[in-house]
Amino acid sequence: MNQSSAPVLRQKKYLLPFLSAAMAMLAGAVIFILPPPLSTQLHETAAGQYQSVVVTPNVTIELDANSAITVTNSEPPRVELIQGSIYFSGDNKAINAKRLEVIMGDVRFWDMGADFSLETIKTGGSIAIENGQIEMVAGEQTRLISAGQRVDFDNQRVIESSSIIGLKIAPWRR
């Protein structure tokens, strides 16, 4: 009985350190695999107040009065227009520019350095491009919008498309 219990005691002696090391390696693997949590910043303006937000070194957003947006810390940042009107200024010549994602309701826009305004209206929204191009996805439609175009939309489709001159794009900025 003495001889058979000795190997069991030796095995039990190494069990706790082995389990501790295994748990530490598992925790390290989980931390390495899982992405860091996204944080979201809310920017909003009151009546008569305007604000400028630098999202990246290449992208600046100007908020009109009574506007609200959220910006994530992801790469590239994701911007969501909650209410009001905003104007995006981007650097078209940025070599390593990643596509900025802009969300408004169920509609998504992908930008790579365009200057454009986006505003909420009763039935959905409106986007006007000053220069550059924006890719828009509304429902099943994907559309490329170029400089000098204005597009009105709801959450599922494009309602109207027209041309626009630069002075009428975000007139509140002037």
Statement to judge: residues 122 and 155 lie in one domain: yes
Better-predicted residue by pLDDT, 4 or 119: 119
101 in the same domain as 22 = no
Residues 4 and 53 in one domain: no
- Please check whether residues 13 and 49 belong to one and the same domain: no
Looking at the fold, whether 25 and 45 belong to one and the same domain comes out as: no
How does pLDDT run across 30-81, given as a tens digit for each residue?
Answer: 888 887 777 888 999 999 899 999 888 888 899 999 999 999 988 888 999 9
Residues 81 and 11 in one domain: no
- Domain range for 86: 40-173
Same domain, 92 and 6: no
pLDDT of residue 79: 93
pLDDT of residue 108: 93
Mean pLDDT of 156-174: 84
**Residues 94, 168 within the same domain:** yes
- For the chain, give the percent of residues with pLDDT over 70: 89
* Residues 25 and 57 reside in one and the same domain: no
Number of helices (H), then strands (E), in the chain: 1, 14
How many domains in the chain? 2
The CATH number of the domain holding residue 139 is 2.60.120.1440
8 Å CB contact between 152 and 158: yes
Checking if the pLDDT of 101 tops 80, the result is: yes
Task: Please compute the mean of the pLDDT values over residues 74-103 and round it to a whole number.
Answer: 80
29 and 55: one domain? no
Same domain, 74 and 11: no
pLDDT reported for residue 75 = 80
Backbone angles phi and psi of 76, in degrees to 5: -75, 160
Q: Measured between alpha carbons, how far is residue 164 from residues 7, 10, 42, 146, 171 in Å?
A: 86, 83, 30, 11, 12
pLDDT tens profile 128-142:
999 888 999 988 889
16 and 98 fall within a common domain: no
